[in-house]
Amino acid sequence: MDLVKLTENLVKSIVVNEDSVSVKEFPTDEENTILIQVIVAEEDMGRVVGREGNAAHALRTLVQTAASIESNKYVKIDIDKF
């Protein structure tokens, strides 16, 4: 399963401006860790993070579960705006 594509699909399902979503994977120094960076438009940041961070936490939980099942790796997701 492509974790970047999964993350992108989940984020695009909750934002208004889907064209502004950018999701990329970056290497880390840690062997079993994947870093995924999510960039959204400033006006969509509240939707992606959610009240008290609940949406971001749910996103991280879903992607982490998929990564754990697929490859037994840990996923860090960095959410930012442009």
Pick the more confident residue, 27 or 6: 6
Provide the 8-state DSSP code for 41. -
* H or E element, residue 8: helix 3-12
Residue 2, helix vs strand vs coil: coil
Considering the segment(s) 3-81 as one domain, its CATH architecture is 2-Layer Sandwich (3.30)
Give the domain ranges of the chain. 3-81
pTM score: 0.92
pLDDT in tens, 17-56: 999 999 999 989 998 999 999 999 999 999 999 999 999 9
Q: Looking up tokens 């492509």, which residue turns up?
A: 2
pLDDT at residue 58 above 90?
Answer: yes
Q: What angle do CA 48, 61, 30 make, to 5 degrees?
A: 105
- C-beta separation of 56 from 15 below 8 A: no
Instruction: Return the closest-CA partner of residue 36 out of 69, 72, 5, 82.
Output: 5
Distance (Å, whole) CA 49 – CA 44 = 9
